[in-house]
Amino acid sequence: MVYLAGLGTPTVWGRWDPDTLNNQRYYSDERGLNSMAIISMLRSGAFITGDAEKSAAYDAAISTLVDDHGYGTNAINARITVPGDVNYSDDELALFPLYAHLALTPGAPAKDLEMVCSMARYWEQGTAAERASIWAAMHAAVAQVVAASEHERVQEAWAACGGVTADGFYKPSASWGTDALVDINTGTPLAAPLAASIADDSATAAWSLRNWVMDFVTWGTRNSHRADVILDARIGTRFVDDSSQGNGRVLPNNERGQYRWNHNPKILDDNGLPGGTSEEEPSAFLLGYWMSRYHGLIGA
């Protein structure tokens, strides 16, 4: 069993064991997310320890989870197997471990091609459209690692799952095929121009940060009446969250309400709290800013 225990009792969501994730329907939403999380934690742990014996034990545990319990496939299919329950907190649960795993752990991409594919697919099928500085920084960091990898299979996995390289070009692979990824909203294969059109992480980060609201009071916003907003009737997709009204593009942050990265960026109307009686802290902006600075997406 692999779970987080509090006072001897396993917590509700801190479960990464195969029986819970693969066999219990109640936890199917966490199947992909928690699979990628435990792979990331083990691989990162192996690197951090710097101890050959401990690293070997971590590597063996990953092999068991991937080879015997399908955790690699689970990671690729995160938020595909159960697309009806989409929560933007899942972006944090997915992208933070993917970033730590692929961008910050040396050698990890070549060992875990499924995680490379998962990051490329996750970005292509919706996260890019959120136009968030923090996700753009993470995507750019991983794309740079992929482009610099000496292992051809890393770049093949990235391209086959819809990824874009650091120089902004989609490179389909003959061995993996160009139709390895489909749009979850239409079921049609993704084309190369779509991937190339969302490759400019630097512009995304700058746009996101420049439009961030410096007044952290939770004022209400309303956009559903606007003539320049096109409503999207597809309920339950990444374009519309939890059956609320949404739009096919992300409005600038200073025209909507978003103070944290797990807030739905496509909600058109947000009541906030009555009379603006609440105020958020600036950590969301600062994290996106400093990560964009660190990875070279913006200057000082």
**DSSP code of 110?**
H
Kindly state whether residue 162 falls inside one of the protein's structural domains.
yes
Beta bridge partners of 247: 231
Kindly state whether residue 297 falls inside one of the protein's structural domains.
no
Please, which pLDDT band fits residue 82 given cuts at 50, 70 and 90?
low
Kindly state whether residue 72 falls inside one of the protein's structural domains.
yes
- The region of weakest confidence among 38-47, 164-173, 276-285 is 164-173
**DSSP code of 14?**
E
Q: How far apart are CA 144 and CA 33, in angstroms?
A: 23
- Rg from Cα positions in the chain: 20
- The region of weakest confidence among 9-13, 61-65, 187-191, 293-297 is 187-191
Average pLDDT, the chain: 78
Kindly state whether residue 299 falls inside one of the protein's structural domains.
no
More confident residue, 7 or 218: 218
Q: How far apart are CA 41 and CA 88, in angstroms?
A: 21
Would residue 165 be called left, alpha or beta, if left means φ above 0 and alpha means ψ between -120 and 50 degrees?
beta
Triad 219, 221, 225: Cα angle to 5°: 165
Q: Give residue 19's domain range.
A: 3-206
Q: Which residue type is seen at 287?
A: L
Kindly state whether residue 13 falls inside one of the protein's structural domains.
yes
Burial environment of residue 11 by CB neighbours within 10 A (0 to 12, 13 to 18, 19 or more): exposed
- The region of weakest confidence among 8-22, 56-70, 105-119, 240-254 is 240-254
Element (H, E) at 3: strand 3-6
Q: How far apart are CA 300 and CA 298, in angstroms?
A: 7
Count up the domains in the chain and report the number: 1
Kindly state whether residue 153 falls inside one of the protein's structural domains.
yes
Over residues 104-121, the pLDDT tens digits come to 999 999 999 999 999 988
Q: Residue 78: its pLDDT value, please?
A: 81
Kindly state whether residue 261 falls inside one of the protein's structural domains.
no
Please, which pLDDT band fits residue 164 given cuts at 50, 70 and 90?
low
Kindly state whether residue 266 falls inside one of the protein's structural domains.
no
Please, which pLDDT band fits residue 176 given cuts at 50, 70 and 90?
very low
Over residues 222-271, the pLDDT tens digits come to 887 877 776 655 533 333 334 444 545 678 888 887 778 888 887 788 87
What is the number of residues in the chain? 300
b/e code 17-54 from CB counts within 10 Å (16+ = b): bbebbeeeeebebbbbbbbbbbbbbbbbebbeeeeeee
Residues 86, 240 contacting (CB under 8 angstroms): no
Residues 88, 263 contacting (CB under 8 angstroms): yes
User: Structure tokens of 3?
Assistant: 């779970």
What's the mean pLDDT in 156-178?
61
Hunting for tokens 């693969």 — which residue is that? 22
Q: Residue 262: its pLDDT value, please?
A: 85
Please, which pLDDT band fits residue 195 given cuts at 50, 70 and 90?
very low
Element (H, E) at 152: helix 152-160
Residues 107, 67 contacting (CB under 8 angstroms): no
The structure's pTM equals 0.83
